[in-house]
């Protein structure tokens, strides 16, 4: 059986980019769970789901799950969806060794501005 996770995610992102879908985080988390990827439970609470398209790699989509940790810092787990390949998980900043354009994103802290 071939891996179609990329096509499943691309269907969601295409709908988002076409402005046909506003809420998509649960869809993305559902795809990850379908492929047996579990969310953090012990050391953080899911804060946001991010999607980006790497410019240095073709036919792939990167999903970032950003967590607010108990120590009030943020961390992000990354999942690379590539066409016809299994999802690859990157923890503890390992993504930047594979796709250099993401250097520093694992521990990037969010600055919230109050208007």
Q: What is the pLDDT along the chain (115 residues), one digit of tens a residue?
A: 468 999 999 999 999 888 888 888 999 999 999 999 988 777 788 888 988 888 888 889 999 898 888 888 888 889 999 999 999 998 876 777 777 777 766 455 454 444 4
Contact in structure between 33 and 53 (CB atoms under 8 Å): no
In a domain, 46, yes or no: yes
Q: Residue 76: which domain range?
A: 5-102
Please name every residue paired with 89 in a beta bridge, in sequence order, or none if there are none.
79
Question: What is the predicted pLDDT for the residue at 115?
Answer: 44
- Give the Å distances, CA to CA, from 51 to 18, 78, 83: 15, 10, 16
Q: How many domains would you assign to the chain?
A: 1
In a domain, 112, yes or no: no
**pTM as predicted:** 0.82
In a domain, 47, yes or no: yes
In a domain, 108, yes or no: no
In a domain, 110, yes or no: no
């Amino acid at each position: 059986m071939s891996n179609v996770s990329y096509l499943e995610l691309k269907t969601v992102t295409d709908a988002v980019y076409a402005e046909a879908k506003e809420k998509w985080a649960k869809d993305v988390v559902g795809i990850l769970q379908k492929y047996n990827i579990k969310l953090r439970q012990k050391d953080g609470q899911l804060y946001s789901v991010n999607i980006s398209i790497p410019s240095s790699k073709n036919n792939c989509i990167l999903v970032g799950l950003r967590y607010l940790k108990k120590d009030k810092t943020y961390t992000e787990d990354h999942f690379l969806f590539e066409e016809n390949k299994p999802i690859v998980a990157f923890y503890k900043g390992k993504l930047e060794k594979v796709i250099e354009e993401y250097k520093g994103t694992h521990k990037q802290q969010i600055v919230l501005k109050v208007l």
